[in-house]
Chain A
Amino acid sequence: MNSKLRWPVLLALFCLVLQLQAQKITLNGYVKDVENGEALIGANIVVKGTSTGAITNTYGYYSLSLKPGPYTIVYSYVGFSETEKKVNLQADQTHSIELTPSAEMLNEVVVKSEMKNNNIVSSKMGIEKLDSKTINKIPVLFGEADVIKTIKLLPGVVSTGELSSNISIRGGGRDQNMLLLDEATVYNNSHLLGLFSVFNNDAIKNVQLYKGIIPAQYGGRLASLIDVRMKEGNTKKFTGVGSIGLLTSRLTVEAPIVKDKGAILISGRRTYMDLFTRAMHKMSPERAPNEIPLYFYDLNAKANYIINENNRLYLSGYFGRDVFNSSVGDDASMSTDWGNYTGTLRWNHIVNRKLFVNTSLIASKYDYSLDSKLTLRDDEDEVHIETSWIAWLKDYTLKSDFGYFLNPRNTIKFGISGTYHDFNVGDVSSLVDTSHYKFQIPKYYCYEWSAYLSNEQTFEKFSLEYGLRASLFQNVGKAKYYTLEDYEVADTLTASGGKVYNQYWGLEPRFSVSYIINSSNSVKFGYARTNQYIQVASNSESGTPIDTWMPSSKNIKPQISDQVSLGYFMNLNENSIETSVEIYYKYMQNQIEFKEFAQTYLNEFIEEELRFGVGRAYGVEFMIKKQSGKLNGWVSYTYSRSERKIKDIQETGWYRSPYDVPHNLSVVANYDITKRLSLSGNFVLTSGKPFNAPTGRFEYGDEIGIYYGEKNSSRYPMYHRLDLGLEWKNKPHKRYNSSWTLSVYNVYNRKNATIIYFKNVKDNQYMTAAYRVSLLPIIPTIAYNFNF
C-alpha cells in the first residue's frame, strides 16, 4: 500500500469499527429473587437460540450489547424457574427481572431443563460455590450449620485440626487463605477455640472458594480466596428465621426500609453452655464440679438502599466476641476475650450502561485481651495488682472495582485498592497498687496497594480469562525496626511518622483458558502468581485466639507462589451431574517457619525466630456433584503432597509440611424422603497429619528424654467419621414454619486423635507410653428451627 495512504485507511477502518460498535444496543439491569429481592449472582442472561449472553456480577447486575432488532432473552438461575422476555432493541434499555424459585425442586425433569453448563464454558478453575441452603443441609457438630466445616468437605481442603476452624488448601498454610466477609478481611475465623466458625449461615447468601487460580481482582494470600457474601435483606416483607439448639440459639430478621428500594438485616447468636454449667455447679457443686466459663456471641447487620437506578448503597458489619471469665472469690479473677469487627460501606454506580463500578470503604479489626486481678492481704494491709495484655490488627481499605461490559464476548475488569495495616502485637500494662508498669512491643504500620486489569473473553470454542495484578507493599513509620545477621539483631533503627523505610512490589499475572470440546466437556488450564505480604506470627498448627500477624519487613521477604493447573470437566445427564478432575503444581518462595522452641509471644525481636525456605505442593482432585433431585450431594477425592525445604529447620532437604495429607475423601449426600422429611449424611476419610514422634530415648538429668530425629517423619492414624442428620418439617402454620433437626456427629464414635503425645508413666522412672486424646466422641444434637 502507498505509505501516504496507510494511515488514513487505518484511521477509516478504526472509525468503521467504532461505528459498528456504536451500532450495538445495550440491554442492562438486575436479576433478583422475587420472594425477597436478593440479587442473584451468576444468573444467566442468554439470547434464545444462541450462545450469546451475559452473567450477572456480584451485585446481580448484567449488561449485554446486541445489534438492533427483536430478541427473546432468557433469564435463568439454578433453583429458579426460567423467565423469557421479548424485547425489541432499537435503543438502550433497562430490564430488571425477578425470578421465581422453582416450586418443583423435586421434579428432576423441571430442574434438569434449567441446568446450565457454566462450569464447562467458564475458564475459571479451582473454584467451588456454596449457597446457604446447601450449607444448611450438611450435618455438623452441635447441629450448627457452618461455612468452614462445609468447605472442609470440598476437594483440596484439609483441616488443620478436628477442633480447628483453620484450613489448608492445596497444601498451603492456614494463614495463606484470604477470608472476606462482604469484602472485609476476617483474620481469625474461630469461635470457641475452633468448634464454630465466625460465619453465621443464616446471614450468608453464598460462598465462593478459589483454590489458587484467583482472579486478578484479588490478592494478598497464596493459597485461596474464600469470598463470603451476606444476604442483602428482604425488600418485600418482614421475615425471620431462627433456631434454638442445645449449645447455641440464633435469630435473623429482615425487613424492607422502603419496599423494593431498601432493606435491613440483623442476625445474632449466642452460646449458653456457660449458663447451664454455672447453674448446675451452683445447684450441686459435688455432682457438677466444672463450670465452663467460655461462651461467644456475634452479630451481623446489613442495610442497603437503592438511591436511584444508577446508584445503590450497602452498609454491612460484623461484630463477634469469645469470652472466658473465671474468678476465685473476690480476690482473684482472670478473663480473656477475643473477636473480630468488620464494617463495609459500598457504593454501586452505573456510570453508563456498559460501565459498572463498586467503591468500597472497609474497616476490619481482630483483637484480644487478657486481664487478671489479684488482691494480696496481710493482717494490716492489702495490695491490688491488675495486669492487662492487649493486641490487635486493624485494616482500613479503600477500593474501586470497575466492570466494563465491552460486548458479549469481552468483559473487562480493572480497579485499584489501598489498605492501611496497623499491627499492635503486644501491649502489657500492670498496676501494682499505685505503680504503673508497661511493656510494649513496637507497633508496625504498613500500606498495601494494588491495581489490576483483566479481561474475560469468549470464543466459539474457547473462553479465556487473563489479567495482571500489580502490588506494592510499604513499611511506614513511626516505627522501631531492626536488621538481622545470622538470625541475631545487628542494628536497631527508627523511622519517623509516615516515612517509608522498606518496600516490596510484584507483578502477578493470572491466566486461565477453557477449551470447549462440546457443551458437556471441556479442558482447562490455568496459571497464577500471587504475593503475600503479611503472615501469622505463631507456630501453632491449629491456630490460637492469641495469634498475631506480622508484616513483611527488611528481614521478611514477601511470600510468592506460582501455580499451574490442568483440568478436565464433564457434565452428565443434561448438566445435572458435574464431574471434574484437576491436577495442580504449586511452588512457593520465601516460605516461613519458626525455628524449634521459638518464643512467639511478646517477643520484641520475633523475626530472630524465623527461618526461610521454599515449599511445593502438588495433587489431583476428583469431584462428582449432583445438585438437583431427591438425592443430591457430592463425592470428592484428593491425592496431594505438601513439602518444605528450609535448611535451618532440617539439613537433609525436603520434609513434609504440617499440611501434607495424601488422601482425602469426602462423601456428602442429602435425600429428600418426602416433602417434609429429609436425611443427610457425610463421611470423611483422610490420612493422618504428619507429626514428630519419638524415634528413641535417652537419659539426662535423671529424666527420660525423647529423641525425634527427622521432622514430621511420623503420621497420625487415619481419620474417619460419619455424621448423620434428619430434618422433620412440621405442618406449615399460617404465620410461621418450623422444623426439628436431629444431628449425630461421629455416629460410630470413632476415637480420632486430636493429639498424640508421649511421656513417662507416673511412679515408674523408666516406663514410657503413648497417649491419644480424642476430644469429639459421638455427639447427638437436636434443634428447633423456625421461620416467619
Chain B
Amino acid sequence: MKYILLFSIALTILAGCENMEEEISWDTKNIPAKAVVEGSITSDTCYQRIRLTQTADYFLNGPTPRITGADVIVSDGSHTFIFKESDTVPGDYYSTEMFAGIPGNTYSLNVNLKEPIDGISTLTANDQMIQGFIIDSAKVYVYENPFVAFSDEEDKDSTIIVFYMNGNQPKNIVNYYLIQMYRNGVPYFEKLGDMEMMNDEYSEDPEETELVFYYIGDLLVKDTISIELTSVSKEYYEYVRKFKDLLIPPDPLGFSGPPADAVGNINGGKQIGFFYTGQKSRSTAIAQEPENIKETVN
C-alpha cells in the first residue's frame, strides 16, 4: 500500500506539472471586410501619414489588404491638407506639404473610398491636439529590481528606471501620454503594444513642473536614454489602453473579463481604427546610479 501511495503522489505531481497549453485549429466565422484607419497629425513638422487597410480572416498570416485610390483630406477649420497615396506603399497617404499640428486645434479627417467596403463609402473622424508637458531637462536613475524573481523573463525585467522630467504643462487639466524610449539611439519599443502610457491624474505637483516616469526593463547605468512624450486626447489614450489589453492573452483561470473590440473614433466608432493628434516633447539623459535612496523614493 505504501508503494501505491508514493506512486500516486508522483503521478499527481507530474500530472500537475504537465504542459497544459497547446495550439489548436479553429474555424473563424467569415464576415465581410471592414475598413481600418490608422492616422495621426503630430506636432512634428513632417509629411503627416494616414494609412488605410481592411480587415481580413484572422488566420490570414500575411499583411492585410490595403485600400487604394481613396480621396483623403484633413482640415483644422481654416486649412485643408490634401493627402496623396504613396507610389511605393499602397494604402499609405501622405500630406502633399509638410506641416506641424498646433495644440488646441481640432483636426478632421475625411476619406472617400473608391469603392464601398461593407456598404461604407465615407470615413470621418476628428481629434483635438492637447498641449502636453514640454521637457526642459531630465535625469534618469537605475535600480536593481527586487521583484525580478517573480518575473517570467528575468533578464528583461532586471532593473527599474526612474525618469525625472522638469518643464511645464497646462495646469488644472489631466494630461495623457504615450511614451517611447530610445536606448543609445535605438527605439526601445518596437510596436504600439510595447509602448508605455501614463497620465497625471494623481500628480501631487500643484505647479505641474515635474513629471516622473517609472519603467521595469533591462536598461543599465551609463545607457543614453531618450524619452519621447506624446500628449494625446483621453479618447485615444483609452483606445490604446484597450488595444494593448487585447494583446495580452487572458489568464487561464478566467479571472479577467471577456475580450471585446476596442472602439475607435472612425465614423463614431462604427468602423475600426483611430485618427489621433499628438503633441510631442523629447529629452535625453545618461542613466545614473541613485544619489540617495531615501531622497529618490520620497
- Chain A residues close to B by CB (< 8 Å): 160-161, 163-164, 193-194, 246-247, 276, 290, 326, 328, 331-332, 334, 374-378, 380-383, 385, 432-433, 435, 539-542, 544, 594, 596-598, 600, 658, 691-703, 705-709, 711-714, 740, 751, 754-759, 766-775, 777-782
Chain B nearest Cβ from A487, distance in angstroms:
14
Give the contact stretch, choosing among B124-132, B209-217, B249-257. B249-257
- Alpha-carbon distance between A773 and B254 when the two chains are bound, in angstroms: 11
Given A385-B297, A432-B298, A755-B250: 12 more A-B contacts, CB < 8 Å: A332-B146, A383-B293, A541-B254, A544-B253, A596-B242, A597-B260, A696-B31, A697-B56, A711-B260, A755-B251, A780-B12, A781-B12
Most buried by B among A332, A377, A699, A777: A699
Q: Which of B9, B11, B58, B243 contacts A697 (CB 8 A)?
A: B58
- Alpha-carbon distance between A541 and B148 when the two chains are bound, in angstroms: 31
Residue B245 at the A interface, CB < 8 A? yes
Ordered by A's residue number, 9 sampled pairs between the chains whose C-beta atoms are within 8 Å are A374-B146, A385-B297, A694-B58, A696-B55, A698-B54, A698-B55, A703-B191, A708-B261, A757-B249
Q: Which residue from chain B places its CB closest to the CB of A163 in the assembled complex?
A: B253
- Alpha-carbon distance between A383 and B294 when the two chains are bound, in angstroms: 6
Residue B278 at the A interface, CB < 8 A? no
Instruction: Count B-side interface residues using an 8 Å CB cutoff.
Output: 82
Chain B nearest Cβ from A768, distance in angstroms:
6
Complex interface bits, B222-261 against A, C-beta within 8 A gives 1, otherwise 0: 0000000000000000101111011101111111111111
Chain A residues whose CB sits within 8 angstroms of the CB of B251 once the complex forms: 755
Q: Which residue from chain B places its CB closest to the CB of A194 in the assembled complex?
A: B253
Asked if residues B12 and A246 are in contact (CB atoms below 8 Å), the reply is yes
Asked if residues B193 and A703 are in contact (CB atoms below 8 Å), the reply is yes
- Alpha-carbon distance between A432 and B54 when the two chains are bound, in angstroms: 51
Chain A residues whose CB sits within 8 angstroms of the CB of B38 once the complex forms: 699-701
Q: Which of B23, B30, B274, B292 contacts A771 (CB 8 A)?
A: B23
Interface residues in B47-66 by Cβ distance below 8 A to A read 53-64
Most buried by A among B58, B149, B250, B294: B58
Chain A residues whose CB sits within 8 angstroms of the CB of B260 once the complex forms: 596-597, 692, 708, 711
Interface residues in B23-43 by Cβ distance below 8 A to A read 23-26, 28-31, 33-34, 36, 38
Chain A residues whose CB sits within 8 angstroms of the CB of B1 once the complex forms: 740
Chain B nearest Cβ from A397, distance in angstroms:
30
Asked if residues A539 and B257 are in contact (CB atoms below 8 Å), the reply is yes
Asked if residues A703 and B192 are in contact (CB atoms below 8 Å), the reply is yes
Q: Which of A194, A334, A712 contacts B150 (CB 8 A)?
A: A334
Asked if residues B8 and A780 are in contact (CB atoms below 8 Å), the reply is yes
- Chain B residues close to A by CB (< 8 Å): 1, 4-5, 8-9, 11-13, 15-18, 20-26, 28-31, 33-34, 36, 38, 53-64, 143, 146-150, 190-193, 238, 240-243, 245-247, 249-263, 272-274, 289-290, 292-294, 297-298
Q: Which of A331, A377, A541 contacts B293 (CB 8 A)?
A: A377
Chain A nearest Cβ from B239, distance in angstroms:
9
Q: Which of A600, A692, A769 contacts B259 (CB 8 A)?
A: A692
Contacts A432-B298, A540-B256, A766-B63 given; does A707 touch B250 at CB 8 Å: no
Contacts A328-B149, A777-B18 given; does A696 touch B246 at CB 8 Å: no
Contacts A703-B193, A766-B62, A774-B20 given; does A597 touch B258 at CB 8 Å: no
- Alpha-carbon distance between A247 and B15 when the two chains are bound, in angstroms: 13
Asked if residues A696 and B193 are in contact (CB atoms below 8 Å), the reply is no
Most buried by A among B1, B18, B261, B273: B261
Q: Which residue from chain B places its CB closest to the CB of A142 in the assembled complex?
A: B12
Q: Which residue from chain B places its CB closest to the CB of A162 in the assembled complex?
A: B254
Asked if residues B25 and A770 are in contact (CB atoms below 8 Å), the reply is yes
Asked if residues B15 and A541 are in contact (CB atoms below 8 Å), the reply is no
Chain A residues whose CB sits within 8 angstroms of the CB of B62 once the complex forms: 766
Most buried by A among B16, B256, B272: B16
- Alpha-carbon distance between A594 and B192 when the two chains are bound, in angstroms: 26
Asked if residues A332 and B249 are in contact (CB atoms below 8 Å), the reply is no
- Alpha-carbon distance between A700 and B246 when the two chains are bound, in angstroms: 12
Asked if residues B254 and A161 are in contact (CB atoms below 8 Å), the reply is yes
Chain B nearest Cβ from A720, distance in angstroms:
17
Most buried by A among B13, B253, B273, B289: B253
Asked if residues A701 and B259 are in contact (CB atoms below 8 Å), the reply is no
Q: Which of A326, A432, A709 contacts B31 (CB 8 A)?
A: A709
Contacts A332-B146, A378-B290, A693-B26 given; does A699 touch B64 at CB 8 Å: yes
Q: Which 8 A-B pairs have the closest CB atoms?
A: A701-B192, A542-B254, A539-B257, A596-B260, A770-B26, A696-B55, A694-B58, A773-B252
Most buried by B among A700, A767, A770: A700
Contacts A383-B293, A695-B31 given; does A702 touch B55 at CB 8 Å: no
- Alpha-carbon distance between A785 and B240 when the two chains are bound, in angstroms: 56
Asked if residues A700 and B294 are in contact (CB atoms below 8 Å), the reply is no
